[in-house]
Amino acid sequence: MKPDTCLIVTFDGLRRDRATPGLMPNLAGFMAQGSDFINARSVFPSETRVAVTSTATGCSPAAHGLVANQYLHPATPGRPFQTADYRDLMAAAAMGSLIDRPSLGDRLAAAGRTMAVVSTASPGATWMMNPNARELGHPVFSVYGPPVSTRSLHEAALAEFGPVPQAGTPNNDRIDYATRVLTELVYAGEAPDLCIMWLSDPDITSHGFGVLATETEQAQAHADAAFGRVLEWWRAGRGPENLIVMSDHGQITGVRRVDPVRMLPQWASRMSTGSFNGIYLDDRTFAGKQAAIDVLSDLDWVGLIFADGDEGRPLEGALPWSLVGNGHPRGPDVGFTLRATQPSAGAAADQCYFAAHIQPGGGMHGGLNRGELSTILAGAGPAFKAGFRSEVPCWLPDIAPTVMTILGLPTHGMEGRALGEALIGGPPAPDVERKLQSLSHRGHEQHLSYWQVGGRTIVDCGWTSGNGAWR
């Protein structure tokens, strides 16, 4: 076992309240025995490639600049920039406008350390876990093969385990294959200082069948069994010293499809859509933004609205981008979520409108409902306190500085903080203050609940009421 090393295992789309001993006994047991962060949150928008990039850079979308799963970018004129497609990512990188902060892979390489990736996620998500892996000589295994996989590792996997299985829902066979690549190949040959393993379930199955569906629970059970094999391998001392588990976002139930492009034809060619939607205005003046906000405020399917005025002058009916860690220059002038339910006690009640290609009843994410933002985060190993339960809010950008601290490397330039309260010999937890910002415009009422944690803003959840109430 190599000292001062770390493995991150991610369960894509797993809400914290679904990581129960009954559904996922291996995961739940690990979380209870290590350091468990019970108020962990995603970033906004709560979309996978945004979450991956925030995890890898230790920064918010406002800083790293990958502002949504799809948005408008000069690398793809005439159509939305698709972060699921590695070719779009390569085109943006060639222009010098993919991300504006170094990733963990860059930082480790500069320190003479190594990083590996083993992933069943989309090509784009896997690419963003270590965007410069190929140039840095870091191994990557993707079930989608080269060029997302580095060729030498992928060919070694094919030689050792045979062809990569076909995708499925649940994605059991690919998850099992990736688990073997991790435990039998990557650490046997590479011994990386850091590795990210990304499991595509329960996200894939929840999209297809629903958050509470039997099929999704079966996917959770299978992913948990794969994690159990990783745990057994790790506890036998054949992997890294420290193990972190996380999820990138949760999911809630999509109940009604809407089509923002059709419903807002005046911006059809200047809009990116999803649970998070962005409008790139031709008229970017204060008056132009305010006119767009007025239109959105009167629609019965719009949720929270975000925009910034000029020189600190607030726009009526819009929350400032800074409250949600977005607002990068590559982002839209005006952004909005689709309407969702108010904060609830569990997955059965959390619902939203959706613009994605799922069926009603399928799982959805991207917005600010607590079920979308709530994630798991826990760690164990010699760096972490055992049986420690932290109520201090944290979010995805805190993971990278925590890893860097474990590896004994600097964290300068990261917006997140090392979660020192959970580390052996670490500093005490920072002060926490809960806040609520509300506004009303044309009867559309918006609310954003957030924490100030050592001067950093972490969003708990957002919702609408009044004319904006869930119906």
pLDDT at 242: 98
pLDDT at 58: 98
Helix, strand, or coil (residue 354): strand
Q: Which two tokens stand for residue 346?
A: 């569990």
Split at pLDDT 50, 70, 90, the class of 82 is: very high
* Nearest Cα residue to 248 out of 165, 364, 372, 347: 372
The residue to which tokens 């309260």 are assigned: 421
Helix, strand, or coil (residue 330): coil
Span 356-364, average pLDDT: 93
Categorise residue 158: left if φ over 0, alpha if ψ from -120 to 50, beta otherwise.
alpha
Split at pLDDT 50, 70, 90, the class of 357 is: confident
pLDDT at 195: 98
396-420 pLDDT, tens digit per residue, is: 999 999 999 999 999 999 999 999 9
Q: 45 preceded by cis ω (within 30°)? A: yes
Split at pLDDT 50, 70, 90, the class of 196 is: very high
Percent share of the chain, pLDDT over 70? 100
If one compares 345 and 160, the residue with the highest pLDDT of the two is 160
Split at pLDDT 50, 70, 90, the class of 189 is: confident
- Write 80-87 long-range contacts (CB < 8 A, 24+): 80/272, 80/273, 82/124, 83/49, 83/50, 83/124, 83/125, 83/128, 84/49, 84/122, 84/123, 84/124, 84/125, 85/123, 85/124, 86/123, 86/124, 86/127, 86/147, 86/148
315-355 pLDDT, tens digit per residue, is: 999 999 999 999 999 999 999 999 999 997 789 999 999 99
The answer to whether the beta carbons of residues 404 and 410 sit under 8 Å apart is yes
Q: Is the pLDDT of residue 277 over 80?
A: yes
DSSP β-ladder status, 377-380 and 242-246: antiparallel
CB proximity list for 276: less than 8 A, separation 6 or greater: 44, 45, 47, 68, 335, 336, 337, 366, 367
Span 92-109, average pLDDT: 98
Q: Is the pLDDT of residue 1 over 80?
A: no
Q: Is the pLDDT of residue 4 over 80?
A: yes
pLDDT at 471: 85
Split at pLDDT 50, 70, 90, the class of 312 is: confident
* Nearest Cα residue to 362 out of 262, 288, 251, 237: 251
Span 59-78, average pLDDT: 97
DSSP state, residue 427: P
Split at pLDDT 50, 70, 90, the class of 426 is: very high
Q: What are the C-alpha distances in Å from 230 to residues 12, 223, 307, 317?
A: 17, 11, 44, 49
Work out the mean pLDDT of the chain and round it to a whole number. Answer: 97
The answer to whether the beta carbons of residues 303 and 340 sit under 8 Å apart is yes
pLDDT at 465: 97
pLDDT at 24: 98
